């Protein structure tokens, strides 16, 4: 039987995908999942997402050697080592380090999806790799796939929708049965894949980030298939499990 | 200031658009709004949408000369003159007649949107005409525009999403500010406009209609801009107010 592919449009809807028993792909292109993918690709050992600032500070107190990163309202909170700009996660800073990350939406979606049997971290940066990993797991065990778009305030995010389309468009034909939402996402992506950053730049959240001076983050986050890694969230940590 | 264009993905969300005070464009391509557009273009005097079968039967008892049309689970209910196939609404049958219509989702979305100051009926068949009418009203008074996609069971419907994109893509550039959902709908439509019925045919609801033998309805409902009419729902009736 074909693997069903569906999409939840908001972080708060992660629970539905968990309830269905689906493999979850969390997408928050601007900027949480792009930052996680880049941090791990650049040698970070693990990323620990937390929902709250309080929890992030507490973890850091317990582990002073961990990096503390993330944002509130787009900006780096007090006492944090790094913000949520994927470009900050360079090898000189992150290599060999464990990273505590808390963001407004992305890390929240991850934590809320933690009861799913499989949680992958997706971005344009690793679209094909995530698709391959997501196609391999249902092949071994019968599970369906749900994207959880983690855009801010649980609103529909154009950039995450297009990214779900980018990933879904890499699923091997025939074995996957797309819901109407998944079909729409693939169509949207196919339409703009030649000019991703231009279209992502029209989104509400991109405009906000441009106002804050993070235009380069958008360019970077739109680099399709820059990395061949598919981070997995398990036991409270995101890693590049091999 | 620019006119804000947003999209509600389910009939049950019509109330949000009403609350915002928006002009509402109800879209249920398969098949309610396509049927209404065709009925009026072929000379029907008015279409009266009802939420329930009971109300439809009651109205017909009061007005034996009205046509009684619609569907439940895709099929014509007992005692109805016509089903919900746009192709049934030929001039020989509908000319000069008032039509009572009840469908699973489309007429419900209309009735639920009735408190909006302006409610237009949109389909591929009249995409450009609806866009022109919808652009003209906010020009005179400051209102924003919301699409209400009325697809079955308040699920996201690919065909209605693409149709919202078809209509929005006709809005004059510059004066309209698209939400992320509206942008995504336009992208989807732009991507498939050369092969509309092929893509609409991949949707969940189209597959169901094909099983029921209504394949020709899909072909017909995908005829872009066949009519230059923009039906308005007001005081309980849908008409071609000039």
**Each residue's pLDDT tens digit, B184-205:** 999 999 999 999 999 999 999 9
Q: Which of residues 122-161 of A touch B (CB under 8 A)?
A: 151, 155-158, 161
Residue pair B54/B176 in contact (Cβ under 8 Å)? The answer is: no
Which residues, listed in sequence order, are joined to residue A68 by a DSSP beta bridge?
A: A100
Pairing mode, strands B98-102 and A237-239? unpaired
Residue pair B106/B69 in contact (Cβ under 8 Å)? The answer is: no
Sign of the dihedral through C-alpha B130, B132, B133, B138: positive
* Tokens 């200031």 sit on residue: B1
B173 — contact with chain A (CB < 8 Å)?
no
CB contact under 8 A, B184 and A190: no
Residue pair A154/A13 in contact (Cβ under 8 Å)? The answer is: yes
Q: Which of residues 198-237 of B touch A (CB under 8 A)?
A: 199, 202-204
Q: Which of B9, B180, B192 sits opposite A204 (nearest CB)?
A: B180
Q: What is the pLDDT along chain A (242 residues), one digit of tens a residue?
A: 789 999 999 988 889 999 999 999 999 999 999 999 999 999 999 999 999 999 999 999 999 999 999 999 999 999 999 999 999 999 999 999 999 999 999 999 999 999 998 999 999 999 999 999 999 887 777 899 999 999 777 789 999 999 999 999 999 878 899 999 999 999 999 999 999 999 999 999 999 999 999 999 999 999 999 999 999 999 999 999 76
B192 — contact with chain A (CB < 8 Å)?
yes
Question: Would you say how long chain B is, in residues?
Answer: 242
CB contact under 8 A, A184 and B156: yes
pTM of the predicted structure, to 2 decimals? 0.95
Interface test with B, best of A146, A184, A195, A202 (most B CBs within 10 A): A184
Q: Enumerate residues 6+ apart whose C-beta is below 8 A from A61.
A: none
Does residue B125 carry a pLDDT above 80?
A: yes
* Tokens 């949408």 sit on residue: B49
Interface test with B, best of A161, A165, A179, A187 (most B CBs within 10 A): A187
Confidence at residue B113, expressed as pLDDT on a 0 to 100 scale:
92
Residues from chain A contacting residue B188 (CB–CB below 8 Å): 184, 187-188, 191
B31 cis-preceded (ω within 30 degrees of 0): yes
CB contact under 8 A, A158 and B203: no
Residue pair A156/A203 in contact (Cβ under 8 Å)? The answer is: no
Does residue B139 carry a pLDDT above 80?
A: no
Q: How many helices (H) and strands (E) does chain B have?
A: 11, 10
DSSP character at residue B117:
S
CB atoms within 10 A of CB B234: 14
Biggest alpha carbon distance in chain B? 51
CB contact under 8 A, A184 and B190: no
CA triplet A67, A73, A78: central angle to 5 degrees?
A: 40
CB atoms within 10 A of CB A96: 8
Residue pair B24/B73 in contact (Cβ under 8 Å)? The answer is: no
Range with lowest mean pLDDT among A180-184, A223-227, B8-12, B213-217? B8-12
More confident call, B27 vs A142: B27
CB contact under 8 A, B204 and A180: yes
Q: Which of A151, A180, A191 sits opposite B191 (nearest CB)?
A: A191
Q: For residue B89, which of B140, B148, B38, B141 has the smallest C-alpha distance?
A: B38
Q: For residue A215, which of A200, A225, A230, A236 has the smallest C-alpha distance?
A: A200
Which residues, listed in sequence order, are joined to residue B99 by a DSSP beta bridge?
A: B47, B67
B162 — contact with chain A (CB < 8 Å)?
yes
CB contact under 8 A, B184 and A158: yes
Q: Which of B9, B187, B192 sits opposite A199 (nearest CB)?
A: B187
Q: How near does any CA of chain B get to the CA of A92, in Å?
A: 36
Residue pair B160/B177 in contact (Cβ under 8 Å)? The answer is: no
Alpha-helical segments (H) within chain B: 14-19, 32-41, 53-62, 91-94, 106-112, 127-140, 158-168, 180-192, 196-200, 204-211, 215-221
Q: Is A227 left (phi over 0), alpha (psi -120 to 50) or beta?
A: beta
Give B56-116 as a DSSP string: HHHHHHH-TTSEEEE-BTTBPPTT-SB-S-GGG--HHHHTT-EEEEE-SSHHHHHHHTTTS
């Amino acid at each position: 039987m074909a693997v069903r592919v569906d999409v939840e449009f908001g972080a708060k809807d992660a629970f539905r995908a968990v309830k269905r028993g689906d493999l979850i792909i969390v997408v928050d292109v601007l900027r949480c999942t792009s930052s996680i993918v880049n941090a791990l690709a650049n040698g970070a050992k693990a990323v620990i997402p937390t929902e709250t600032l309080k929890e992030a500070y507490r973890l850091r107190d317990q582990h002073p050697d961990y990096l503390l990163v993330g944002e509130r309202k787009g900006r780096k909170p007090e006492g944090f080592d790094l913000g949520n700009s994927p470009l900050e996660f360079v090898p000189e800073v992150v290599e060999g380090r464990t990273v505590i990350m808390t963001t407004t939406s992305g890390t929240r979606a991850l934590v809320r999806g933690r009861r799913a049997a499989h949680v992958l971290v997706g971005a344009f940066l690793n679209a094909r790799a995530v698709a391959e990993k997501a196609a391999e797991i249902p092949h071994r065990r019968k599970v369906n796939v749900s994207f959880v778009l983690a855009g801010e305030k649980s609103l529909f995010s154009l950039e995450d929708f297009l990214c779900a389309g980018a990933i879904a468009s890499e699923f091997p034909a025939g074995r996957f049965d797309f819901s109407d939402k998944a079909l729409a996402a693939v169509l949207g992506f196919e339409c703009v894949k030649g000019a991703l950053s231009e279209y992502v730049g029209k989104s509400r959240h991109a405009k906000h980030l441009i106002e804050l001076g993070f235009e380069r983050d958008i360019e970077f986050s739109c680099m399709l298939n820059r990395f061949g890694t598919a981070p997995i969230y398990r036991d409270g940590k995101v890693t590049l499990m091999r």
